[in-house]
Amino acid sequence: MSASRWPCTTLGPVPPTRPHDREQSSHTRPRRDRRQALIDAAIELIAEGASADTSAAAISRKAGVAHGLLFYYFGDKQGLVAAALADVLSKLADAQGPRPEESTTRARLEGFVRRHIEFLRDHRVLYVRVVRDAELGEAGVESALRHARAEGERQVGVLAGLPEPLPPLLSAAVSGWTGFLDRTADAFFDSPGLDLDELVALIVDAFEAVVDSARARSEREL
C-alpha cells in the first residue's frame, strides 16, 4: 500500500482549557467585538424573561469577556441596557425600510407598519421588560426611545412623500400617529383574535386621515 501524501502527525490528548486561557482569549478579541458581545449577551438574557440572571457578572460571563469591561464600555449596567435597547431599535429602523416590490405609497406604508409590528412581536419580552414596564431601570432608556421615535417619524414621512422638515402641525400629527401605532400593536398582542391584515389597513387608514387633516388645517392657516 502506498504511503499517504499527507504528513503523519501523532495526536495526543487535548489539554483542558484553563480559566487563564479563556481570559487571554477575551483580551485578544477586537475591542468592537467585545463591546458588541456584551450588548448581544444583555439582549439574550433580557429576552429570556424575568427568571433570567441579568446581573453584570452574568452578562459578562455569557459574553465571555472580563467583568470589568462592562463598566469600561458602558459605565454601569444601566448604560449597557440603554446600549442594548439602542442596538435593537437600530435593527428595527433597518427592518422597517421599504421593499422593491412596494411600488405605491400605500404599499410602502403598509409594509412599514407590518414589519414594525412583526419586529415588536419577535422582541416582545425585551420590549415589555425594558420599554413598557421599565423593569431594568429607566436610565438612558428614554433617550434611546426618543431617538428611535424621531427616526421612525422621519422614515414614515419619507415613505409618504411628506416635506422635510415636517411643518409643526404635520409633525405633531405624525408623532401622535406613531404612538397610536405602538398602542394598537399592544392591542394586537393582547387579543389573539385580531387579524393582522385588517389591523395594518386600519393603522394606515388612520395615518392617511390624520395627515390629510393636518395638511388641510395648515393650508387654511396660510
Report residue 185 as a C-alpha cell: 400593536
Residue 184 has pLDDT above 90, yes or no: yes
Residue 6 has pLDDT above 70, yes or no: no
Give the pLDDT band of residue 13 (cuts 50, 70, 90): very low
Residue 146: DSSP 8-state = H
Residue 47 has pLDDT above 90, yes or no: no
Give the pLDDT band of residue 10 (cuts 50, 70, 90): very low
Mean pLDDT of the chain: 82
Region 20-43: what's the mean pLDDT? Answer: 70
Region 50-79: what's the mean pLDDT? Answer: 91
Contact call for residues 206 and 180 (beta carbons, < 8 A): yes
Residues 80-108: tens digit of each pLDDT: 988 888 888 889 889 999 999 999 999 99
CATH class of 85-221: mainly alpha
CATH class of 29-75: mainly alpha
CA R_g for the chain: 24
Identify the pLDDT of residue 211. Answer: 96
Instruction: Indicate the burial class of 109 (C-beta count within 10 angstroms; 0-12, 13-18, 19 or more).
Output: buried
Residue 178 has pLDDT above 50, yes or no: yes
Residues 134-155: tens digit of each pLDDT: 665 666 677 778 888 888 899 9
Lowest mean pLDDT among 16-30, 114-128, 147-161: 16-30
Q: How do the domains of the chain map onto residue ranges?
A: 29-75, 85-221
Return d(Cα 59, Cα 80) in angstroms, integer: 10
Give the pLDDT band of residue 32 (cuts 50, 70, 90): low
pTM: 0.76
